Chain A
Amino acid sequence: AQTVTQSQPEMSVQEAETVTLSCTYDTSESDYYLFWYKQPPSRQMILVIRQEAYKQQNATENRFSVNFQKAAKSFSLKISDSQLGDAAMYFCAYRGPNTGNQFYFGTGTSLTVIP
């Protein structure tokens, strides 16, 4: 089974600074999708950004961007100009072509934004 590892249980960043959250995964598939989800204290999980493995270009969504290193099986999330509203749990997730609609999630990184 695929595994997703987030090695940073907690991270903190000063407001307006940049922070990078790490994620690695293990798979034998060549085509798959990777996601970063955000879960604020209210508990509603929302999608932050997604990446298709066959695309070499790193995905970007406003202040959020990823560094996708396929050979290294690494998928980090960079948050620029951090805002107080970015404080949340961040989950990295993997979805492959041979696992139906099953998502594999990491254990999450709790991000604190310091004013």
Chain B
Amino acid sequence: KAGVTQTPRYLIKTRGQQVTLSCSPISGHRSVSWYQQTPGQGLQFLFEYFSETQRNKGNFPGRFSGRQFSNSRSEMNVSTLELGDSALYLCASSLVAAALGEQFFGPGTRLTVL
């Protein structure tokens, strides 16, 4: 099975712009979660989508939004970018019914805001 894929791998934007990141989960996985990773902060949970519905949301401003399509692919959007949004954004997919709840991570998208 192909792993979780994320595109693009690298992005450079300027303050005020918006950005859309994409994530394709492992085939058959219906849950997709997004995390922001910064040095010293670790992984901060953004949100989780399951069957096109947002199930959980972390403590991030409304500038961060997402959606999930019927094929389970997910997109994350950040509007009005700020310098502090520079981070590695990780996507993870999982089989919701799996008892041990392992999440499989993608390689991430490195976002740099100038």
**Do the two shown chains form a genuine complex with each other?**
yes
Residues in A lying within 8 Å of B, measured CB to CB: 33, 35, 37, 42-47, 50, 52, 91, 95, 99-108
Residues in B lying within 8 Å of A, measured CB to CB: 31, 33, 35, 40-43, 45, 48, 50, 55-56, 58, 88, 90, 92, 94, 96, 99-108
Residue of B nearest to A106 (CB): B42
In the A-B complex, the 4 residue pairs with the closest CB atoms: A45-B105, A107-B42, A105-B43, A100-B56
Given A50-B102, A101-B33, are A43 and B108 neighbors across the interface (CB < 8 Å)? Answer: yes
User: Could you say which of A44, A101, A106 has the most chain B C-beta atoms within 10 Å of its C-beta?
Assistant: A101
Is the CB–CB distance between B105 and A102 below 8 Å? no
Is the CB–CB distance between B56 and A102 below 8 Å? yes
Chain B residues with Cβ below 8 Å from A33 are: 100-101
Min CB gap A86→B, angstroms: 18
Is the CB–CB distance between A107 and B40 below 8 Å? yes
Instruction: Identify which of B42, B43, B101, B104 contacts A95 (C-beta below 8 A).
Output: B101
Instruction: Identify which of A46, A91, A101, A103 contacts B55 (C-beta below 8 A).
Output: A101
Given A35-B102, A47-B102, A50-B102, are A103 and B42 neighbors across the interface (CB < 8 Å)? Answer: no
Bound complex: CA A90 to CA B101 (Å) = 18
Given A43-B88, A44-B107, A46-B105, are A103 and B45 neighbors across the interface (CB < 8 Å)? Answer: yes
Chain B residues with Cβ below 8 Å from A91 are: 42-43
Residue of A nearest to B110 (CB): A43
Instruction: Identify which of A42, A104, A107 contacts B45 (C-beta below 8 A).
Output: A104
Bound complex: CA A102 to CA B40 (Å) = 20
Residue of A nearest to B40 (CB): A107
Is the CB–CB distance between A102 and B108 below 8 Å? no
Interchain residue pairs with CB less than 8 A apart (29): A33-B100, A35-B102, A37-B105, A42-B107, A43-B107, A44-B106, A45-B92, A52-B100, A95-B101, A99-B56, A100-B48, A101-B31, A101-B33, A101-B48, A101-B55, A101-B56, A101-B96, A101-B103, A102-B33, A102-B56, A102-B58, A103-B92, A103-B103, A105-B35, A105-B42, A106-B42, A107-B41, A107-B42, A108-B42
